[in-house]
Copies of this chain bind each other. A is one copy, B any other.
Amino acid sequence: MLQLYDLFLKTGLRPFAFMSDTLHLEQNVTRSDMSTLLILLFRGDLTMSELAAEMGAPLSSMTSIAKRLERKGYIARATSAQDQRVKLVTLTQEGRLLGKQWESIMLGMLGRLETAFSTEEMEQFTTLLFKAARVFQEGGPLKPHETMTRPIKIKIEE
């Protein structure tokens, strides 16, 4: 359990730093940049607000990030025809390319996880992870007792 604190404390400062050596291709581009490109790749063109929401970042931060990415030539911003206020963000050819590069890296990571985990473990892992995330985010007062979903028990190979 102490390990859990440990992971938390490290991850708190430098998100996923523990895997960052592996992700050394992050050269020259921020983590935010990477996230943005990947989101655009997955979700298609989005407005600034939508992007910000997907990223979980404030809109003002999103502006900075977008400006940077535009300067580097990875995205383009065009004002929408229907509503002059909204800007539609699109991947350029280069941006799409870079995004795909990262996608494949992430697939590689995932693949590594999948080779290390059995299928059951994998499912367990994701299920539990999201359950945990849900528990944390839908905060509320710390209740001592709550109904819970039926536990699934499998044996884990170390």
Measuring CB to CB, which residues of chain A are less than 8 angstroms from any residue of chain B? Answer: 1-5, 7-19, 21-22, 31-32, 34-35, 38-39, 42, 54-57, 101, 104-121, 123-133, 135-137, 139-140, 142-146, 148-154, 156-158
With contacts A5-B42, A132-B125 taken as known, whether A56 is within 8 angstroms of B108 at the C-beta atoms is: no
Copy number in the complex reads 2
Across the interface, which residues of B come within 8 angstroms of A114, CB to CB?
A: 148, 150-151
Do residues B124 and A156 form an inter-chain contact, with CB atoms below 8 A? yes
A115 to B38, CA, bound (A): 35
Q: Which residues of B contact A121 (CB under 8 A)?
A: 128, 131, 151-152
Task: Determine the chain B residues whose CB is within 8 A of the CB of A2 once the complex forms.
Answer: 42
Q: CB within 8 A of A137: which of B21, B54, B148, B150?
A: B21
The 4 closest A-B CB pairs, nearest first, are A22-B139, A19-B136, A15-B15, A104-B144
- A127 to B, closest residue via Cβ: B156
| Residues on B with beta carbons closer than 8 Å to the beta carbon of A10 | 35, 54-56
Q: Which residue of B lies closest to A118 (CB)?
A: B151
Complex CA distance for A21 and B136, rounded to whole angstroms: 9
